[in-house]
A and B are shown apart, each in its own frame.
Chain A
Amino acid sequence: MKLPLIWIARLWQLGPSRILPATCRYQPSCSQYAIEALGKYGAIKGGWLATKRILRCHPWGGHGHDPVP
């Protein structure tokens, strides 16, 4: 379950993310954060962390250095 999710994030990085201009407010990027979180905590907790990260990645959210806990 973990690997397919990591692959989705990876495909995003290789595909759309390459063409799109950088929009990242955080370091590391959301996709990188997701890959790390999934690797460290597994599909459920890692996925939850990644979802929360995406949910705060908007103009009213925070920004800056925000690594996987």
Chain B
Amino acid sequence: MDNQRNVIIAIALSFLLLVGWTSAMDYFYPQPEQALVEDRADTPAEQAAITDGTSATTRHTRTGGLVDPVLQAQEKADLKTALASPDRIRIDAPRVAGSINLRGGMIDDIVLKDHMEGTGDDSEPVRLFSPNGTPAQQFAQFGYLINGARIADDVVWQADGRVLTQDTPVTLTHDLGNGTKATIRYSIDQDYMFTVEQSVANTGANPAVVQPYGYVNRTSRTASEDLWIAHSGPMGVFADAADYDIDYDDIDESGSITPSGRASWSGFTDIYWLAVLVPQDGSAPDTTFRALGNEIYRADMIYDAVTLPAGQALTTTSRLYAGAKESVVLDRYEDAGLQKFGLAIDWGWFRWFEKPFLWLLRNIYELVGNFGIAIMILTLIIRGAMFPIAQKGFASMAEMKAIQPKMKAIQEKHKDDKQKQQQEIMELYKREKVNPVSGCLPMLLQIPVFFALYKVLVLGIEMRHREFLWIKDLAAPDPANLANALSLVGIQVPQFLMIVFGIGVLAVLLGFTMWLTFKLNPSQLDPMQQQIFNIMPWILMFVMAPFAAGLLLYWVTSNVLTLAQQKYLYSKHPQLRASIEEEKAKKAAEAAKAG
């Protein structure tokens, strides 16, 4: 049973490493946002923004969105005014709702029909785009520089329809009055992809220099936390490689960043959401990330300038993805030719190992209809695959017991020569055809399995807002914790005490089941190791408490299955159980004597 214990410890250690690494990174590379904003506060408006506290250190949550209740209220009020304007074309696609703002011809109002902000019945769809100037602003615009001049943002475009649906595209038109006429034809597919066909016609007598562009503008206030294991922020695929290394504060530092190589797509990502531009096939516009100050950023693509002779027209077809990072949907676009679009989810180099788990989890979920049960079944499958190893381990332990007397004899014979003793024991194993221990491979194998599962559960939008028993959202920490219980009687636990009060039912179950598995193990360790085994479950209880409930559910299930497996294998080898208990009693007696 050594193997079982090793596995758990190895997993625990990898977890400590995960957690330790994140906090170490936060410590050594703290977010310099505040300092940078202060450096740049040279206009009165910016200074005002700092003094009223809107742009000082913004807290980011794991899933993103506005955190400050003042800003949340302001967002609500601003939206109401902005969306009441008559100059809007409604968007009503299968999975996307919102509107196009005719003033500026931009898309600045998008909500996702299939994803809710919260878990309550009165919860509203997730808002991805919010008009310019609102606290959660994010929007996209496609336009032209004509003879070096941008079409003004306050121009009200003419539309040929009232609603943009999957079947009815909408064309916006603006006559610039100097002989050029610009049109933007918006269409949307069954998921989250807009196709934007911009064209400009030169009906005048003189040639015109036209330069099409598109951009996504957003605030970093709503950004989800940038984890070392999952990037949130500016990203794209440049020169055939996904770039996860650009952070908002990197752009702050240099003002603008232009990744080298052709952009296949470029924009911003949160852990679950994505807003990116896709340039026209075969073209390579300049793609740049810019810091506009006050926590506002822009990802733009500017096509080459073209001199358009009189009587001719230029059409450019770009795309805009504004939606959820559903692995299946992203991969479908990738299969349709959008380069590396599946990498919008930061799987990391280990994705070839992670994706099968995601696939399995998704399919089990579709079968059983409850994500918590799906996680438990997946655990059962993984443990089932590992069962032969545990069985083999037990068998060799039983064989070991059989040759115990011979081993004792060798140990007695070569008491003073450890080297010789080792050699003789190895000889004995060989003679008796006993495989002493299970080796390191089974243990090493479980580390990637656990890591893959961890990443799938952290990154997969599939687990977001999935219910299980009392848990409303398996992707969030267990709600049945002390802090929430105290808040029921009106006591608010401060953030820094959450390490203690964040402990929930699942975390306690985790500690308890792990303690039980250790207890069932033979105690053939030295006292230091024994101590570690006694403390480990309770430390892990605290360490794991803030993690997604789904992950804890996996671990608790895994522990319970380990217990069942131990019970079963002990029943198959009853002599083992007896000898282990005997040994334990002996040790306890010795300890009592010594004490």
Contacts and interface: CB of A to CB of B under 8 A. Distances in A.
Nearest to B422: A27
Interface string A45-69: 0000000001111111101110000
B9 A23 contact: no
A58 B9 contact: no
B13 A59 contact: no
Most buried by B among A56, A57, A58: A58
Contacts, number: 75
A19 interface: yes
Contacts of A20: 6, 9-10, 443
Interface in A9-65: 15-16, 19-27, 30, 54-61, 63-65
Given A16-B10, A59-B389, A21 B5 contact: yes
Contact of A63 (B9, B422, B429, B441): B429
Contacts of B525: 21
B441 A64 contact: no
A58 B441 CA distance: 5
B532 interface: yes
A25 B429 CA distance: 10
Contact of A54 (B2, B430, B440): B440
A21 B521 CA distance: 12
A57 B10 contact: no
Interface residues of B, number: 30
B444 A54 contact: yes
A58 B532 CA distance: 25
Contacts of A60: 392
A58 B442 contact: yes
Interface stretch (B125-133, B407-415, B431-439, B562-570): B431-439
A59 B444 contact: no
B3 interface: yes
Interface in B415-457: 422-423, 426, 429-430, 435-444
A40 to B, nearest CB: 21
Contacts of A19: 9, 13, 529, 532
Contacts of B435: 25, 59, 63
A64 B429 contact: yes
Interface residues of A, number: 23
A55 B9 contact: no
Given A16-B13, A19-B532, A59-B396, A24 B439 contact: yes
A50 B446 CA distance: 19
A23 B529 contact: no
Contact of A57 (B422, B439, B524): B439
B477 interface: no
Contact of B441 (A16, A55, A65): A55
Contacts of B10: 16, 20
B6 A23 contact: yes
Given A59-B389, A59-B442, A63-B436, A23 B426 contact: no
Nearest to A16: B13
B279 interface: no
Contact of A61 (B2, B393, B439, B443): B439
A19 B429 CA distance: 25
Contacts of B437: 22-25
Interface string B83-126: 00000000000000000000000000000000000000000000
Contacts of A63: 426, 429-430, 435-436, 439
A34 B6 CA distance: 20
Contact of A24 (B13, B440, B524): B440
B426 A16 contact: no
Given A19-B9, A19-B532, A64 B426 contact: yes
B451 to A, nearest CB: 15
Contacts of A22: 437
Contacts of B430: 63-64
Nearest to B442: A58
A18 to B, nearest CB: 9
A22 B526 CA distance: 11
Interface in B9-32: 9-10, 13
B429 A59 contact: no
Nearest to A25: B439
A64 B423 CA distance: 9
A26 B524 CA distance: 20
Given A16-B10, A64-B426, A59 B5 contact: no
A63 to B, nearest CB: 6
Contacts of A57: 439-441
Nearest to B5: A21
B512 to A, nearest CB: 22
B560 to A, nearest CB: 23
22 contacts: A19-B13, A19-B532, A20-B10, A21-B2, A21-B524, A21-B525, A21-B529, A23-B3, A23-B6, A23-B440, A23-B443, A24-B439, A25-B439, A26-B439, A56-B441, A58-B438, A58-B441, A59-B435, A59-B442, A60-B392, A63-B430, A63-B436
Report, nearest first, the 3 A-B pairs whose CB atoms are least far apart. A57-B439, A59-B392, A58-B441
Interface of A: 15-16, 19-27, 30, 54-61, 63-65
Given A19-B9, A59-B392, 16 more contacts: A15-B13, A16-B9, A21-B525, A23-B2, A23-B440, A24-B437, A27-B422, A30-B440, A55-B441, A58-B389, A58-B439, A58-B441, A59-B396, A64-B430, A65-B423, A65-B426
